Structure 1
Amino acid sequence: MKPPRLAAGAALSLLLLNAFGEQFYQTKTPYQPQQTSASYEAPPQGYHAIHTQLLARHGSRGLSSMKTDLALYKLWQMADKEGALTPLGTQLGADILQMMRANALLGYGVAGIGKPGYGNETMQGVAEHQQLAERMIRRLPELFRDAPGGPASPPRRIVLVTSGKDRAVDSGDYFAGALAARQPNLQPLIIRPPSKAPRAETIHDSRPAGTDRFLLYFHKLSARQDLVADRGDPLYGTYQASQAYQAWAKSDELSKREAVVLAQPQVAAAARSVMERLFTPAFIAGLDQGRYRAANSGTYSYTSADGKFTNKLTGDGDTVIQSSVDAAQALYELYAAAADMRVELQADFAAYMPAPQAAVFAATEDAIAFYTKGPGIRENGDVNYRMAQTLLDDFFSEVDAVAKGDLSHAAKLRFAHAEIVIPMAAILGLRGMSEQLPRATAYSYENSPWRGAAVAPMAANIQWDVYTNGQRTLLRMLYNEKETDFKPACDHAKVAPGSHFYDYARLRSCYNIAN
């Protein structure tokens, strides 16, 4: 069955009312807390915080690798050679080179960054996690004050786990460092536990303490590194769910659906508007007619200002620009990345991507993300998020321990990626983040509330605060620091209508968590 043609009409008038003020970065949106702690609902009388949990995406980063920037620069060089640039287009080349240099040296000289270069967090990303940690302590001062223990109570641990990828590891380290900087006696409480691993695995070199792929990198579990062949292994289901998801991500159906998204008339019109400001009509026509083709090939070397670090990079040639839509999409990616590099980058890519056109590409990105990472197609069942079950179980198991009187963990902190946060929101059934669409209905802003900027901006986070009065356990969830309801079917577990506090036993039962 062919995927449906998308409605031409996610109205730009609605897009331009975007909550981020005519800036359309979607999952590259810099982080902002969505509620002030002063406006949080007070816990019921007699209750106090006893535990907290966090799942956070890494902070703002640069480009993940030298792909679209280099391919676009190669296209720019062709146009420059042929005298096919407008005055604005002439400026673009230097700004792309500045972007490439900033990414090649990203993190150099920054304490805590082990390997400078593409994919690292920016200073903006570092600050996002440091500030997130500071707000957590301010929100739960008694919990952290009492965590070190005393004469009558043992110290409580702060468990820290990451996906193992550099930017997630760094986010965890910066977060933990901010906790310790604000309250130094927390430092010895921070532990990094052994990773989950298949029963048959005897060598754990790829799973250093504090790293857990089955919890926090489940979208890319591989036969080489993560194979779980034993059906009785607790991790078997996670591995199989990951394989099913990866098969969907590589499927012909998804590729065709993405092609339909990119073939919408408003996308072609937006691409032409962007390109006409930079290149001559003849060059644009030649690109769309196949006379020009640019790939991310070539070798570039960048040396830090102090001369002590050099990064030599070679493009793999796999990213290809062969149409005006390809070129405009590449430029949109640089525009979005620049929003996360405000310290490292002076170039203003918004000059090349006006708001009306950025809005179109933002909607395009959301449509593709909805099918590739988001809740996806109803007939596909839970293939996009079933792999998050182990993570959901882990959240509940931490609260289970506390509810049963095991107070060894004051907090559990997890640092991962958008591909982890997005399915977690879906498996939780959160409003606006989990609603699927039938195969015959194409995603648009008019028929779906799902938005990448709301679900997974940089440093996106889900937090569970646990409260007790000594007899009953309550739970409150924050999503990007906003008090957020669990799935509607669990409203009966609220302690009162309209409250954000849930009776834990009832909530647990509502999610059918196994004992």
Structure 2
Amino acid sequence: MMRRATATATVPAIALALVALLPGGVATAHGGGETLYATKTPYRPQQDARTYQRVPAGFVPVFTENVSRHGSRAATSGEDGELVLALLAKAGADGALTSAGKAFGAEVQGLLDAMAKVGYGELSGRGKQELRDTAARLRKRLPALFGAMPAKNERIDVVSSGKGRAVDSGTEFTKALVAADPALGPLVGPARTDADLLYFHKSAGGAAYRDYLANDQRLAATLKKIREQPRTDAAARSMLRKLFSASFVNRMTAADRVAAAEAVYSLYAIAPSMSAEGDWHMDRYIDSRDASWFGYLDDAESFYEAGPGFNDSDITYRMADVLLDDLFRQVEAKKAGTSEFGAVLRFTHAEEIMPLAALMKLPGSERPASPSRPYTYADNVWRGSSVAPMASNIQWDVFRKGSTYLVRMLYNEKETAFKAGCRPVSRGSFFYNLDELERCFDRAKAAR
């Protein structure tokens, strides 16, 4: 989620800035459990389905629903790549490139060409496969549910934020379901858009949140304090020294070094998402220790802007109420006999998954930070790579026996307990009575 000071500038402006302030016409643009790619981490399921707990005796699956982030994608623009290419070109003209720097330009250009072909911000080949594979595992997990849906004429509702990569994720997901069982085809409803539900951080319900991002001085001061630690410039120097001569790097200001290093890191972080389009070797040019530091900076921004945030405020996640309410509403409609759906499939973005995880207190998202003690990897387990990687998902499977309904939650396909205070049907079980979840989440109060 990095929002660098250069992010609002055009690529030519950035390139000119990087080529103007150093001697000779070189310019700069002002501007415990470590993870390398933060929220750009490609998806993988977190548990083998063969190890899931057995469904309690007599219960049959009657409904399933999800909230899924879109799959792996290209970068949203070519800005970082163009910035790096401009800097490499200037250094080359000055004779200031290392052997690695000389090779890095071709790697960057190849990645940019591949992303332009895919479409900036659009699903990559890997992203499409992530969604297809998740759909296949869903159907395999609940064969009785999907097998009974055609005879019961229960529909599959598909809803997204309306953004291209989310819409396409829904398409890939449902195509995989239908490919495995063509009888499901007529049940897949026309895909619909609900930005209030699945893009709430930019919708009317997120107005206070957007004001927090733009104007909260404590947020700005905390992120500035984290970003301006000495290690940031040290990591930037280390990263850039692999590509450029020491004198070239030394002539840059600290802010310009960090801006350039962040651009390099962003290319490093997005490359795994583009693995179907090319064989990239970013790890040849970037030390994992430096990448980990910039991954931490990215995680810190996500933590305070869309995760648990400060321990005296819920501004970063209370707007996710609309999504949690819909999860409950769909299950309650199934129990009441008023639902026409056998499955409800939602496709959204990291900016929705992270606050929903914080609101639900999912593993890793239970602990906000004290204003006096900023978030670090050492004292907080929150990681973008596990909370909201590409194609991350929260799934609720619903089972019925008579008038009793049980809910099992999977978080990135791992059986996951509901928050503290919610009692499962038995000690250690991942199955919860719907009535108990309504009590635990105070649904009676929410309905008023």
Is the shorter-chain TM-score for this pair beyond 0.5, marking a shared fold?
yes
User: Percent same amino acid at aligned positions?
Assistant: 41
Q: CA deviation at 1:391?
A: 0.8
How do 1:123-162 residues align onto structure 2 when only pairs under 5 Å count?
Answer: 123-149=125-151, 154-162=152-160
Equivalent residue, structure 2, for 1:248: 212
Q: CA deviation at 1:15?
A: 4.2
Q: CA deviation at 1:462?
A: 0.2
Q: CA deviation at 1:74?
A: 1.2
Corresponding position: 1:498 with 2:431: no
Q: CA deviation at 1:407?
A: 4.8
Task: Identify the structure with the greater helix proportion.
Answer: 2
Equivalent residue, structure 2, for 1:511: 441
Deviations 1:149-177 (A, max 9, x none): 1xxxx400110000000000000000000
Letter of the 2:321 counterpart: Q
Equivalent residue, structure 1, for 2:241: 276
- Please state whether the residue corresponding to 1:160 is helix, strand or coil: strand
Corresponding position: 1:216 with 2:198: yes
CA distance in 1, matches of 2:123, 2:352: 18
Corresponding position: 1:401 with 2:403: no
Equivalent residue, structure 2, for 1:454: 386
- Please state whether the residue corresponding to 1:118 is helix, strand or coil: coil
Equivalent residue, structure 2, for 1:118: 120
In the alignment, structure 2 segments of 5+ residues that lack a partner are 1-31
CA distance in 1, matches of 2:338, 2:49: 28
Coordinate RMSD, CA, aligned = 1.4
Letter of the 1:285 counterpart: N
Q: CA deviation at 1:87?
A: 0.9
- What is the TM-score with the length of structure 1 in the denominator? 0.78
- Please state whether the residue corresponding to 1:384 is helix, strand or coil: coil
Structure 1 residue corresponding to 2:165, chosen from 133, 145, 167: 167
CA distance in 1, matches of 2:33, 2:174: 37
> Does the aligned pair in 2 maintain the 1:261–1:368 contact within 8 Å?
no
Deviations 1:348-372 (A, max 9, x none): 1111111121121122211111111
Deviations 1:318-351 (A, max 9, x none): xxxx521111111111001001111213331111
- Please state whether the residue corresponding to 2:274 is helix, strand or coil: coil
Deviations 1:91-117 (A, max 9, x none): 1112111122111111xxxxxxxxxx2
CA distance in 2, matches of 1:434, 1:249: 21
CA distance in 1, matches of 2:138, 2:388: 19
Equivalent residue, structure 1, for 2:25: none
How do 1:60-79 residues align onto structure 2 when only pairs under 5 Å count?
Answer: 60-79=72-91
Structure 2 residue corresponding to 1:26, chosen from 5, 16, 38: 38
Corresponding position: 1:56 with 2:38: no
Letter of the 1:269 counterpart: A
Structure 2 residue corresponding to 1:353, chosen from 280, 286, 293: 286
Letter of the 1:29 counterpart: T
- Please state whether the residue corresponding to 2:364 is helix, strand or coil: coil
Deviations 1:214-255 (A, max 9, x none): 01000112xxxxxxxxxxxxxxxxx34x01111111124333
Structure 2 residue corresponding to 1:84, chosen from 80, 96, 100: 96
CA distance in 2, matches of 1:398, 1:422: 21
> Does the aligned pair in 1 maintain the 2:330–2:339 contact within 8 Å?
no
CA distance in 2, matches of 1:407, 1:42: 26
CA distance in 1, matches of 2:442, 2:84: 50
Letter of the 1:404 counterpart: A
> Does the aligned pair in 1 maintain the 2:242–2:286 contact within 8 Å?
no
Deviations 1:263-304 (A, max 9, x none): 112222211111111111111111127xxxxxxxxxxxxxxx
Corresponding position: 1:46 with 2:58: yes
Equivalent residue, structure 2, for 1:372: 305
- Please state whether the residue corresponding to 2:76 is helix, strand or coil: coil
Equivalent residue, structure 1, for 2:15: none
CA distance in 2, matches of 1:331, 1:402: 49
Q: CA deviation at 1:405?
A: 2.6
Corresponding position: 1:479 with 2:443: no
CA distance in 2, matches of 1:172, 1:473: 27
In the alignment, structure 1 segments of 5+ residues that lack a partner are 1-13, 19-23, 107-116, 193-208, 222-238, 290-321
Deviations 1:123-163 (A, max 9, x none): 000000000000000000000000001xxxx4001100000
> For residues 219 and 73 of structure 1, do their structure 2 counterparts lie closer, same or farther at Cα, with a shift above 3 Å needed?
same
- Please state whether the residue corresponding to 1:120 is helix, strand or coil: coil
CA distance in 1, matches of 2:309, 2:105: 38
> Does the aligned pair in 2 maintain the 1:52–1:464 contact within 8 Å?
yes
Q: CA deviation at 1:416?
A: 0.6
CA distance in 2, matches of 1:250, 1:365: 18
For these two proteins, the number of residue pairs brought into alignment is: 413
- What is the TM-score with the length of structure 2 in the denominator? 0.90
- Please state whether the residue corresponding to 2:367 is helix, strand or coil: coil
Structure 2 residue corresponding to 1:411, chosen from 343, 349, 355: 343
- Please state whether the residue corresponding to 1:52 is helix, strand or coil: strand
Deviations 1:459-494 (A, max 9, x none): 00000000110121110000000000111121x2x1
CA distance in 1, matches of 2:273, 2:328: 33
Letter of the 2:195 counterpart: R
CA distance in 2, matches of 1:281, 1:84: 8
Letter of the 1:219 counterpart: H
> Does the aligned pair in 2 maintain the 1:374–1:434 contact within 8 Å?
no
Deviations 1:384-419 (A, max 9, x none): 011111111110010101112335210000001101
Equivalent residue, structure 2, for 1:423: 355
CA distance in 2, matches of 1:284, 1:483: 48
